[in-house]
Chain A
Amino acid sequence: MIRIQTSLFFSWWCALGWMVSSVAASGQEAPRVTYSLSGGDVTYLLKHKLHEVKGVAALAKGSVLEGRARLMADQGVQVMVRAAVQGFDSGNANRDQHMQEVMEAARHPFVTLKAVLERVDLPTTFPAQTTHLLKGQITLHGVTAPLQTPVTLEWQSAQSVTLRTRFTVSLEAFQIERPSLLMVKVDDRLEITAALTWQPMPLGGAPR
């Protein structure tokens, strides 16, 4: 009986010791604030010898653009943005159709960005502007590749911030067939520009 009591007591203290060390070592903390996309757009720019093609996916057009950002207790930010391929509008119906064909929009309907920002401190005065490095991955045409790009956060207030960034990707790296006109293919470089405005979500709207 004494042996059982001793072993139980020992087990309990071991478990306590490991729990304390685990919490101290991992540093995991619950998220503080979740932001959702309230405005803005994502634009692609494709260059051909004859002209440039610019396509815009704007939040104002409905559910073509979605985004959430989560500010963690350690001041890091998790970001996820998703744009429907069909939602990009270049102003030319034929070009948009061709873009959807080369992007295989039926099979890969979305472009998704998932990334983190390290150490985002809320400014004390507004308006304010801060720069950070976005590190994550982008999924385009079913291919996922790492992405690292500088971003600028323009703080209109504590309740509204606009994220701006610009980066280029290679069409061939994402296995996208380069369209051609007059037998001349477009440039391999696809420039993506994002200007996204975020606002805190009401309580109860936090994602999993």
Chain B
Amino acid sequence: MTVSLRLIGLSLLLGLGRVSLADESPPAAPALNLDFELLDQPVAPGLDFKAPLNLPRIEQQSKLRRKLLLAHQILGFTLLGSMTATTVLGHLNYYDQFEGGGYTQRYNIAHTSLAALSSALFATNGLLALVAPEPYKRPGRWDTARIHRIAMVGATVGMLTQIVLGPISASRIGYENQRSWAQAHLGLGYATYALTLTGALAYLF
């Protein structure tokens, strides 16, 4: 019996001693306990984890899209420069032929060459944007991206019309209506340039 009481006392002392030892030692900084989970397993909107995601394909498409859109950006500003030069030379050409510039034809070849270059750049740049994949889709909305697209669609119509109008205007040498054709070509040239510039500026903002 005495032995039992001693053993009981010893066990209680050992238990209490654990508390007392903790009280006596200097308190350590409590470690941050983040071992908890307050939210259920997530299901992302638009990404159904119940169906397996083709991650390699998505990532491959993302990389390709980045490369194509980077090229689109670089080519876009090159195109803007080319179209600026084409439009300036076009106006000088019109002035030279119809506004008392002396009809020297000195801007003709430069304007035609730059127009051809601008058309090629325009077509290439448009293709880059059209073929770029979209691994992450977004619902359509009225934003600067849409303004860019609308402006560039308008510029595309203008460019295609100019490709037809330019040669027709040039072929009307000697005809009374050549000036009218030239004016139409000039006006549409400015409109096409304005739409392209709008598309570029919208992209920037």
Contacts and interface: CB of A to CB of B under 8 A. Distances in A.
Asked if A pairs with B, the answer is: yes
B145 A10 contact: no
Interface string A1-35: 00000100110011011111110110000000010
A62 B53 CA distance: 22
Given A6-B3, A101-B135, A109-B44, A17 B12 contact: yes
A160 interface: no
Contacts of B168: none
A153 interface: no
B67 to A, nearest CB: 12
B44 A110 contact: yes
Given A17-B12, A63-B45, A109-B47, A116 B39 contact: no
B38 A94 contact: no
A13 B14 CA distance: 11
A100 interface: yes
B50 interface: no
Contacts of A24: 19
Contacts of A19: 15
Interface string B1-26: 00110011001101111110010000
Nearest to B139: A93
A203 interface: no
Contacts, number: 139
B124 interface: no
Contacts of B143: 91-94
Interface residues of B, number: 51
B33 A21 contact: no
Contact of A107 (B37, B55, B134, B137): B55
B39 A100 contact: no
Contacts of A93: 138-141, 143, 145-146
B34 A115 contact: yes
A86 B53 CA distance: 15
A110 B42 contact: yes
A86 B8 contact: no
Interface in A86-106: 86-87, 91-97, 100-101, 104-106
A138 to B, nearest CB: 11
A21 B15 contact: yes
B36 interface: yes
Nearest to B134: A97
17 contacts: A17-B12, A18-B18, A21-B16, A69-B38, A78-B38, A80-B36, A84-B45, A92-B144, A93-B139, A93-B141, A93-B146, A106-B59, A109-B47, A110-B44, A182-B73, A207-B39, A207-B40
Interface of B: 3-4, 7-8, 11-12, 14-19, 22, 32-34, 36-40, 42-47, 53, 55, 58-59, 62, 65-66, 73, 77, 134-141, 143-146, 148, 204-205
Given A82-B42, A110-B42, 12 more contacts: A10-B8, A20-B15, A20-B16, A25-B18, A68-B38, A86-B46, A93-B145, A94-B143, A106-B58, A107-B59, A114-B36, A207-B39
